[in-house]
Amino acid sequence: MNYSGIKYADMINGKGIRVSLFVSGCTHCCKNCFNQETWNENYGKKFTEKEENEIIEYFKKYGKTIKGLSLLGGDPTYPKNIKPLLKFIKKFKENLPDRDIWIWSGFTWEEILEDENRFSLIKECDVLIDGKYVDSLKDLNLKWKGSSNQRVIDIKKSLEKNKVIEYI
């Protein structure tokens, strides 16, 4: 899996101060995507154990100041990203069980539930921002999402209630 960048001390992509990992690979190719270069799965650098460890050490260095991890792209649910991200999430949770994980996907919650591989990744996270970015629905006043069709979903509550529960 490749990644285009890691933002440390990011305050835009999720609640609180976070570390954001931008992965490469996306099939949605949304009009006016802010990160078009990440559509190509080969864009950027290889995400290796070195980067995994650097992210975990950053969390340990700054303690509770850093609230959680955000996974963006590209699309973290792009087929080639799922296994490496599952491996990293497991390692992350072993080291930092009290931090949350937010994930963005161009697929909707309903589409993810129908795909065993995508679901295996999503269920390990806490919050999902779902759906493609739709340029005609762009709204700069929205929190954590780019267009009004997207939802910010509490994954654990949604699985428990067997229906979409939006994150508050």
Identify whether 74 is preceded by a cis peptide bond (ω within 30 of 0).
yes
Q: In this structure, is residue 112 part of a structural domain?
A: yes
Q: In this structure, is residue 167 part of a structural domain?
A: no
Distance between CA atoms of residues 77 and 159, nearest Å: 18
Q: Report the CATH number that the domain containing residue 7 is assigned in CATH.
A: 3.20.20.70
What pLDDT sits at residue 151? 98
Distance between CA atoms of residues 68 and 93, nearest Å: 11
Q: In this structure, is residue 168 part of a structural domain?
A: no
Mean of the pLDDT values across residues 88-109? Answer: 98
SS3 state at 129? strand
pLDDT at 35 over 90: no
Q: In this structure, is residue 166 part of a structural domain?
A: no
Q: In this structure, is residue 122 part of a structural domain?
A: yes
pLDDT at 168 over 90: no
pLDDT at 156 over 90: yes
145 and 129 Cβ atoms separated by less than 8 Å: yes
pLDDT at 33 over 90: no
- Copy the structure tokens of residue 93: 């949770």
Q: How far is CA 77 from the centre of its chain?
A: 8
Q: Which residues pair with 5 in a beta bridge?
A: 22
Q: In this structure, is residue 165 part of a structural domain?
A: no
Q: How far is CA 2 from the centre of its chain?
A: 14
- CB atoms closer than 10 angstroms to residue 32: 11
* Domain that residue 132 falls in: 1-159
pLDDT at 39 over 90: yes
- Enter the pTM of the model: 0.96
Q: Which residues pair with 7 in a beta bridge?
A: 20
Span 23-32, pLDDT tens digits: 999 999 889 9
Q: In this structure, is residue 37 part of a structural domain?
A: yes
Q: Which of 115, 124, 119, 27 is nearest to 73 (CA)?
A: 27
- Copy the structure tokens of residue 9: 């001390």
Q: In this structure, is residue 164 part of a structural domain?
A: no
What pLDDT sits at residue 157? 98
Number of structural domains in the chain? 1
Mean of the pLDDT values across residues 83-109? Answer: 98
What pLDDT sits at residue 103? 98
Where residue 67 falls among pLDDT bands split at 50, 70, 90? very high
Where residue 34 falls among pLDDT bands split at 50, 70, 90? confident
